Amino acid sequence: MTRGGRLSWLHVPHPLVLLSGCILLAAAASYVLPAGEYDRRQDEVTGRQVVVAGTYHAVDQTPVTPFRAVVDLPRGMEDAGSVIFLVFLIGGAFTVVDETGTFKRGIGRLIKALHGRDLLVIPVVSLAFAMGGIVENMQEEIIALVPALLLLTRSMGFTPVVTVSMSLGAAMVGSAFSPINPFQVEIAQKVAGLPLLSGAGFRIVFLVLALALWIAATMRFAAATRGPARVVDAKEEEPLRRTDVVVLGLVAATFVFLVLGIMRWGWDFNELSAAFFIMGILAGAVGGLGVGGTTEAYVKGFRSMAYAALLIGFARAIYVVMQDGHIVDTIVHGLFTPLADMPVMASALGMVAAQAAIHVPVPSVSGQAVLTMPVLVPLSDLLGLSRQVTVLAYQYGAGLCDIITPTNGALMAILGLAGVRFEKWIRFSIPLYLGLVVLGAVSIAVGIGIGL
């Protein structure tokens, strides 16, 4: 039983088994669901292929055989190649930083400074990662930080679930309620023909409430499940060196450049990979590792990221299978068509539920925006529903679903590296996820009420 007796029956197999089962399930669905697709066009505003509303049509059935589904595994790895390469290079770069001893000394000093006030580390770290989610939809970038975060939380007696919650969890909440996330709200607003940053003040209010709920629940769970704190060893008692300060400055500067690159210069995963690679090289040079030490640290980091990369590829293969079966657009059409006959409020909440359901087979929030928003915008205009509220429904439906969907490769990778079984995470996160969905529903009701 969990605390409170919730979800005690839940047991989920190993992540690779779970994702393999999802791949076979997607293949089976291609035999059952009718094949169909929307026409697509190049959108000059977003620079992406978007669907054309009202063009859904049946196509020849293309069922995916079990063997073909297995063939789609390497295709999933290929399709997620830029993300996987980013994970490898981030892992290598942060392993270089770790090999310099900067993290251990920094964490040791932090533990000593927070003696007796250890719970304060949760809101501080959570807000830092939430900011990453708010400004750049941070997820994969967190993977390489898991070992350092585990060192920090275990030193204070917290469980690995707390590690995931205050890092990835906080980032996902920040992403879903963000007023500026370029991969969610900005793309959705562009497709909907809304000014960027419109409704930002309204979103910020509910962002604050959502983060307060998540952080408070994480702190409560951490206090209830806390074990004995680890004694800091002599090496960690060492004061920070000048080189440590420079290395930490390099890390901070890299994230500043990432935000600027994404928001101003249109950076994608390849540019992010390059930035982290350069950071690792500079950190190795400053930290005194030399060419050989830096290279060995990179190789060590690559090895540590192999499992995470594999999970990301397996997760992406699910979408590849459904694309081959031509059933992704069928699912979108089937979920959104009934909303046209509902009252405005019910239709808006139905959009949240439909976006959540679609996010399982389409775990890319940006891909989901260009897939669903062109269909929903004409529908919302027909219903008299504000386009801004339609964007909110997309954000809360797709963004929050990241917290619990096994097709989110970053989530599965981080859980795997942290040693947290998926069902253990679900037991912790489901009540919070439902609470956040309710908060999103309140936001939508208020938005409709005030004519947002």
Q: Give percent above pLDDT 70 in the chain.
A: 94
Euclidean distance between CA atoms 416 and 403, whole angstroms: 15
Q: What are phi and psi of 287, to 5 degrees?
A: -80, 0
Strand partners, 326: none
Q: The whole model's pTM is what?
A: 0.86
Q: What is the dihedral sign for C-alpha 42, 43, 48, 49?
A: negative
Q: How far apart are the first and last CA of the chain?
A: 43
Tell me: the pLDDT tens digits for 370-415? 999 999 998 898 888 999 999 999 999 999 999 999 989 889 989 9
Domain boundaries, the chain: 15-450
In terms of Cα–Cα distance, which of 376, 299, 362 is closest to 327? 362
Token pair 């679609």 is found at 358
Alpha carbon separation from 383 to 263, 339, 353, 389 (Å, rounded): 33, 9, 17, 12
**HSE value, Cβ hemisphere, 13 Å, CA-based, for 235:** 5
- The C-alpha angle with vertex 131 and arms to 196 and 303, in degrees rounded to 5, equals 115
Return per-residue pLDDT of the chain as tens, 452 residues: 334 445 555 566 788 888 899 999 999 999 999 999 999 888 887 778 888 888 999 999 999 999 999 999 999 999 888 888 988 998 899 899 888 888 778 777 777 777 667 788 899 899 999 998 998 888 888 888 888 888 888 888 899 999 999 999 999 999 999 999 988 998 999 999 899 889 899 999 999 999 999 999 999 999 999 887 655 555 556 677 888 889 989 988 998 888 888 878 888 888 988 999 999 999 999 988 999 999 999 999 899 888 888 888 898 999 999 999 999 999 999 999 899 888 999 999 999 999 999 999 888 888 899 999 999 998 898 888 999 999 999 999 999 999 999 989 889 989 988 999 998 999 999 999 999 999 999 999 999 999 88
